[in-house]
Amino acid sequence: MSESKRLFFAIELPAPMQRQIVRWRAEHFLAQAGRPVAAANLHLTLAFLGDVSAEKQRALAAMAARITQPGFTLHLDDAGHWLRSRVVWLGTRQPPRGLLQLASMLRAQAARSGCYQNPQPFHPHITLLRNAGQGVAIPPPGFLWALPVNEFVLYESVFARGRTRYTPLQRWTLGNTERNSDEV
């Protein structure tokens, strides 16, 4: 029997943006606020797939390759703290329609393939801190990163030697139609 991999679809952040976000996080959150996510692991999950066999991975990749939609721009201009999951996150006040459509398609395909999908509505975010307890002060509005999204990625998550590493396995390009495709 083939070994399974822990997979998810996500939007990759370019390394310079990862470094900018890490610097911003260091300026706005106390060191004891929570466990920081490594810069190289900062991403926006579109659909979590869980443990997937090689056969199911091929089927999901084939479905992902059939997605045709234009790229969009994601504006990272919101932050928050989910007390229940103990996560501090960076997100968007107005998710672009393209982002919501892409996540919806990937989550639906994953569900049809037997990958459990959380029934909670999709809340696009980048996890900044884990194990964040009570009283984490969230920076006031005024920050903004604009991320042009022209592709999405299938990642593998591997936990080894006390660390989690996300490795890109495959990429798909979004169509290059009108630049204003992210307008609602």
Annotated catalytic residue: which of 43, 75, 81, 123?
43
Task: From the candidates 28, 81, 123, 125, give the one annotated as an active-site residue.
Answer: 125
**CA-wise closest residue to 13 among 94, 90, 68:** 90
* Domain of residue 88, residue span: 5-182
Task: Quote the pLDDT of residue 160.
Answer: 84
CATH number at residue 92: 3.90.1140.10
Task: State the pTM of this model.
Answer: 0.90
E strands, 95-150, are: 125-130, 145-149
Blockwise average pLDDT, block size 10, the chain, 184 residues: 86 97 92 90 96 95 94 96 94 96 96 89 95 87 94 94 91 66 26
Kindly report the CA angle at 72 between 80 and 99, in degrees rounded to 5? 50
Residue 2 confidence (pLDDT): 60
Known active-site residue 28: no
- What is the number of structural domains in the chain? 1
As a whole number of angstroms, the distance between CA 119 and CA 25 comes to 30
CA gap 164, 110 in Å, rounded: 23
Q: Is 81 a catalytic residue?
A: no
Q: Which residues contact 105 (CB under 8 A, 6 or more apart)?
A: 67, 69
Tokens at 32, concatenated: 């004891």
